[in-house]
């Protein structure tokens, strides 16, 4: 199984860098990152657009507590995209909506709360999406607008993207979260998985057609292990839980999405044999984190609890999100996997990113390291 290390410059760069980031290695094949997605990858777009509702607190402490700066990231610190950039010796990727940003090393189009499908799809099904939703269609338009403003021709854009790593998410999680949290049944939500998957893969195709040759398409997390789901869909029936005390049905749903996405990614790969198209298994990377929590330095008794929340078994209340009056924050976020019940801590994201790069939670099954060496 090829790992995401295949994307990076050399074996010597596989150890994470914690110093202040600088310009990329001069001769490294990858010199920029372009990212799409939701709150798992958003480095500040929603904050600049106007964070409201459950996202309102992300622009102030305790968000950003560990990095001592509330940047709009939905965590106490850095995200996986940040660790990918650091591992490539690139600057952290600035959000598209940041005025005066230096986009020479890439652009982040991800917006917290975003869906893969357009809001109209959910409106037809009486499922409410955030007013600030910037679905993949909007993020793709931002991407094209950016290219048009920085390239003089499609050929120049294509050459520019040849040296870029494209992260297609994580995206699609909110398509399901919005539906589940509003009472839609698993069977009903399952019915629109094909549309979500098709939108992700068709977006990847558009980026490839623009000239991209190195893409990562991430799968969904095991949502049945998240404090938000464990709280909102609590069951008194022990058979509803697996050996990790996660909700079986919701994890099965996540696996169904991932299976469909992997199959669609493989078809896309066959259509573009010269493009390196990797599926990043966020599900198994998270399970690696959960199953090895104590060895990795996390508090084994708090693996299903949010660091920041309003109490209860899992320290989560959808009506009283982290940062609002009445909530409190754990003293040491590095011991927790979950930050606010929905998003992970910096330490958990770091561990997951490291696992994705080093532990082989990526496909396809061939070694392509020589294509990416410096």
Instruction: Respond yes or no: is residue 39 known to be catalytic.
Output: yes
Q: Catalytic pick from 6, 35, 39, 105?
A: 39
DSSP string, 332-345: -GGG-SBSSSSSB-
Residue 199 tokens, joined: 């939108």
Instruction: Respond yes or no: is residue 366 known to be catalytic.
Output: no
DSSP string, 46-61: HHHH---GGGGGGGST
* Rounded CA separation 35/304 (Å): 28
CA terminus-to-terminus distance, the chain: 22
Q: How far is CA 83 from the centre of its chain?
A: 12
* Rounded CA separation 211/36 (Å): 16
Taking only Cα atoms into account, the Rg of the chain, rounded to an integer number of angstroms, comes to 19
Instruction: Respond yes or no: is residue 343 known to be catalytic.
Output: yes
Q: Which residues fall within 8 angstroms of residue 49, CB to CB, at 6 or more apart? A: 97, 111, 132, 134
Burial class (CB in 10 A: 0-12, 13-18, 19+), 248: middle
The SS3 call for residue 200 is helix
CA separation, residue 190 to residues 91, 95, 145, 174, 263 (Å): 39, 32, 34, 14, 16
Q: Catalytic pick from 42, 94, 281, 340?
A: 340
Burial class (CB in 10 A: 0-12, 13-18, 19+), 41: buried
Q: Which residues are marked as active site?
A: 39, 340, 343
């Amino acid at each position: 199984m090829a790992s995401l290390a295949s994307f990076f410059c050399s074996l010597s760069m596989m150890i994470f860098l914690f110093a202040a980031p600088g310009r990329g290695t001069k001769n490294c094949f990858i010199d920029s990152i372009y990212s799409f997605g939701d709150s798992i990858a958003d480095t500040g777009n929603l904050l600049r657009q106007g964070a409201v509702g459950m996202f309102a607190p992300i622009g102030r402490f305790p968000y950003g507590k560990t990095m001592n700066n509330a940047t709009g990231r939905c965590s106490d610190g850095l995200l996986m995209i940040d660790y990918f950039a650091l591992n490539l010796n690139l600057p952290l990727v600035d959000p598209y909506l940041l005025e005066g940003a230096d986009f020479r090393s890439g652009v982040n189009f991800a917006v917290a709360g975003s869906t893969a499908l357009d809001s109209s799809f959910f409106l037809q099904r009486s499922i409410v999406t955030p007013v600030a939703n910037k679905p993949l269609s909007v993020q793709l338009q931002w991407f094209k607008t950016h290219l048009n403003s920085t390239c003089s021709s499609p050929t120049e854009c294509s050459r520019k993207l040849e040296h870029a790593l494209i992260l297609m998410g994580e995206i699609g999680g909110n398509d399901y979260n919005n539906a589940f949290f509003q009472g839609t049944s698993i069977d009903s939500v399952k019915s629109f998985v094909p549309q979500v998957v098709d939108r992700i893969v068709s977006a990847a195709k558009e980026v490839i057609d623009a000239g991209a040759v190195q893409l990562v398409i991430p799968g969904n997390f095991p949502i049945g292990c998240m404090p938000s789901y464990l709280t909102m869909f609590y069951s008194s029936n022990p058979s509803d839980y697996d050996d990790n005390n996660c909700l079986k049905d919701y994890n099965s749903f996540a696996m169904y999405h991932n299976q469909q996405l992997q199959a669609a990614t493989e078809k896309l790969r066959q259509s573009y044999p010269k493009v390196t198209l990797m599926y990043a298994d966020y599900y198994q990377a998270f399970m690696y984190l959960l199953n090895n929590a104590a060895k990795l330095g996390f508090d084994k008794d708090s693996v299903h609890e949010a660091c920041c929340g309003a109490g209860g078994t899992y320290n989560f209340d959808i009506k009283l999100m982290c940062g609002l009056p009445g909530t409190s924050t754990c003293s040491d976020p590095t011991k927790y996997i979950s930050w606010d019940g929905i998003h992970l801590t910096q330490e958990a994201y770091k561990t997951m990113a490291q696992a994705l790069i080093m532990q082989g939670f990526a496909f396809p099954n061939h070694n392509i390291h020589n294509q990416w060496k410096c």
